[in-house]
Chains A and B, each alone.
Chain A
Amino acid sequence: MVEKRPLLDLFAHAVLVLGAIVVAFPIYVTFVASTRTFEEIMQVPMPLLPGEHFLENYAQVLFAGTTTGSRAAVWNMLLNSTIMALIVPLGKISISILSSFAIVYFRFPLRNFFFWMIFVTLMLPVEVRIIPTFQVISNLGMLNTFAGLTLPLIASATATFLFRQYFMTIPDELAEAARMDGAGPMRFFWDVVLPLSKTTMAALFVIQFIYGWNQYLWPLLITSDESMYTTVIGIKRMIVGGDAANEWNLIMATAMLAMLPPALVVLLMQRWFVKGLVETEK
């Protein structure tokens, strides 16, 4: 806004502060709950200052899980989640960057048909095709494996579409100049397309890491073995029965742990992420 109006500034700040509180307060409460004993947080009203059981609670969930719900150790879940959240974006990026390279730079019969085939799958996210996908994965004997956990999530059109759109903004002359320089298609891909796509890849990585980390329905279906639980599923398995039966302090500690990695990825890769989404320099 170009105008200078103090009242408007005040209003804008009020809205922002309110928004921040609405978002931040529940997280704060979660944190407070994770540092107190079960009895303390069951009081009404719940105390709003951090307690003294931080280390105790986190050590408990990390290495032993809850006592009333799932007894699986959370460190293993974090590891599973990390593996899954890394395989999904890396797999997605490598497959889709190659397929969009083919679609944009090669003329082959039915090129558009194949693009639309890929594109149409955008309309079929995992949730929609979950029953047949489960059937396939189950028949392939991939239940309770990382392959089963990640493969169906890797196959999707979002990244292919994004890369295709990006490649189409790379001027044709660049490909022609590379041809004159004597670079074959794959050489062009490695030396020119890939380095130019760095920021797009980074943005996709951030989005897909969080997507992979936050997966709920699919891991819930195909992991029955405790050792394959992801963190999000772990939280679900800790909740058994009625309100009073759950060790909410431990569940909140797990929730805090589950929130940490995506937040870290966003914070660390923010610069690249923004660049990848807005960059037009070619």
Chain B
Amino acid sequence: MRFTTAIAASLLLVSPGALLAQDQGVTDTEILLGEVEPLTGPPSLLGVAHNLGVRLAIAEANANGGVADRQLRLIAEDDGYVTSRTIQSVRKLISVDEVFALTALSGSGQAIASMPIVEQFGIPTMIPIGPLPPLYEPPVDNIFVVGQSYTEGMRQLAIYLAETYPDMNWGVVLQDDDYGNALHEGIQQAMEEVDINIVYETEYARGQTDFASEMLRVRDAEVGVLIAGGIISENIAMVRETERLGIDPVIATFWPGRVPEVLAAIGEASDGIYSVDYVAPIQSEEGQAFLELAATYLTEDEVGRVNRYTMTGYSSTRVLIEAMRGCADDLTWACTIERLQSNAPLDTNVMAPIGFGEGNRFSNSEVTIMRADYETLSFVPVD
């Protein structure tokens, strides 16, 4: 017994990190990429769309000769937005499937929870879903966040609305979680530059379905500008309630729910709703070109599921592939991270050019403010 324990104790001194090869996931014929996202359940709306974007980028790259004469392959794990499953899946991708890089870490909360593991291994990781400051402040060497923070998006939208609709009462309905906090922070920052008169502010518990009392308060306070801080179902409910109560405030929503299905579900009342995003709307020139690209490599069914999350997935994966291409002779993590950091910003046509830098792991992408057009179920940028 003692002997076994002695051996065991001495073997414990070997840490797992050193045993992993740095260029795992690379064979003579293929390079393995991995990601975790919600592919089942209600959040699958964004998880599936994102996965399509990554696969699109990979298909495009493979059709053009692959990377370093190897074809790319993706392993997607489903976590259903449950944090423990995210962590398990990340462990599996890194240690069992031995992928070369990660193209998504599910939503923001899940990504934050997975950060310690990803950081420990040092595997190049792109995070295009749910960018939140803890992911890039302070920057982690191997974690690259693509997109924009909700705070910044809210700040810009608030300033725009305050200038376009001056002297109005504002109503703010936010979720009681990180997302709501970020939006709140954005409004506070906007208030430093413009005058905003908030007459009604409330937080609701995530998952709430009935917003009758909130919208009643909005009507009572004669709110002219309503910040709808819900994601999908909540915004649908809120806007329909305003329709029912016969009020017509200027309504602002954000990119997590900027999908045509939301407009369709709301109905006519969705016409003219403001939103803000850092990818091009599908109806725009760039968006249509993107759809055509998607049609080349995806099935008709899948093209029907393309939305903004496809664009973010596509763009961030292209950036990763570009970096890997630059490391064709030396396909290691160190080189890829170095490339990601130093490559010139990559323009994928659907969003502002994505680039990082020394000590910067956040793409800080430019946002555009848009309005919804119910007729075409799309969003049009304001000018």
Same complex for A and B? Answer no
Instruction: Name B's A-contacting residues (CB within 8 A).
Output: none
